[in-house]
Amino acid sequence: MKAKVFSIQGEEVKDIELNDTVFNREVSDGAIYYAVNNELANRRVGTAKVKTRGEVNYGNAKPWRQKGTGNARSGDRKSPIWVGGGTIFGPQPRDYSYTLPKKVKRLAIISLLSQKVKEEKLKVVEDFTIETGKTKDLAVLLQNFTSDERTVLILKDDDAAIRRAGRNIPWLRMLAYNRLSAKELHYGRQILVLETAAGNLNEFYGKS
């Protein structure tokens, strides 16, 4: 399939050939669902914790004698039914991460790229860099393509100048073509792909 290539001024300058396997395939909603959930789970810290009755700071003394007081029998103040006592089955530190099959990840990324093309939310832009590394210079350039909505910029490599310029733009996410995030692509309202990165995606994800 063919797609338009835009200049940094936002004007159409030429066409580029995009691999149908990557940018024009049937969308797999299931793969997208599993890939996004996997990324969210892998980011969870899992440090939530409460104290059990063996960890609260109370002694083992019996509050009152077993019989004759009229009170319910009680063994110690660490019991979960006492205020300040331990918690039953409360959260403990755990690892929420798990591994997703590589084929499912690949299918999810390809599906998301194809989906954004069909929704006309993906644009190929001529290669550029921000030599000054200043946020304002990149922000001015991006105004030709988006209006402060969540945007993903797919780079041909880890361009340090662009990353430095874009790290202070809250609605911008920058991803290298070979390290794409299903979550960022899914929630991105606009996807900007550098021309060389588009060619790299053709090769990287176009392999069977």
pLDDT digits (tens, 9 = 90+) for 155-181: 988 889 999 999 999 999 999 999 999
* Alpha carbon of residue 37 to chain centroid: 9
Tell whether 180 and 86 lie within a shared domain: no
Tell whether 178 and 103 lie within a shared domain: yes
The DSSP letter of residue 105 is H
pLDDT per residue over 8-46, tens digit each?
A: 998 888 889 999 999 999 999 999 999 999 999 999 999
Rounded to 5 degrees, φ, ψ at 82 are -95, 145
Tell whether 149 and 200 lie within a shared domain: yes
Tell whether 159 and 106 lie within a shared domain: yes
Average pLDDT for the chain: 93
Q: pLDDT at residue 208 above 60?
A: no
pLDDT per residue over 54-85, tens digit each?
A: 999 988 999 999 999 999 999 999 999 999 99
Please give the tally of structural domains in the chain: 2
Euclidean distance between CA atoms 22 and 142, whole angstroms = 25
Q: Identify the pLDDT of residue 55.
A: 93
Tell whether 198 and 167 lie within a shared domain: yes
Mean pLDDT of 128-140: 91
SS (H, E, C) the chain: CEEEEECCCCCEEEEEECCHHHHCCCCCHHHHHHHHHHHHHHHCCCCCCCCCCCCCCCCCCCCCCCCCCCCCCCCCCCCCCCCCCCCCCCCCCCCCCCCCCHHHHHHHHHHHHHHHHHCCCEEEECCCCCCCCCHHHHHHHHCCCCCCCCEEEEECCCCHHHHHHHCCCCCEEEEECCCCCHHHHHHCCEEEEEHHHHHHHHHHHHCC
Range of 56's domain? 47-95
Q: pLDDT at residue 124 above 70?
A: yes
Mean pLDDT of 119-146: 92
Tell whether 119 and 154 lie within a shared domain: yes
Tell whether 72 and 167 lie within a shared domain: no
CB 188 within 8 A of CB 157: no
Tell whether 23 and 112 lie within a shared domain: yes
- State whether the Cα torsion 68-73-77-81 is positive or negative: negative
Tell whether 111 and 122 lie within a shared domain: yes
pLDDT per residue over 82-100, tens digit each?
A: 999 999 999 999 999 999 9
Tell whether 86 and 101 lie within a shared domain: no
Tell whether 90 and 105 lie within a shared domain: no
Domain at 105, CATH number? 3.40.1370.10
Tell whether 115 and 146 lie within a shared domain: yes
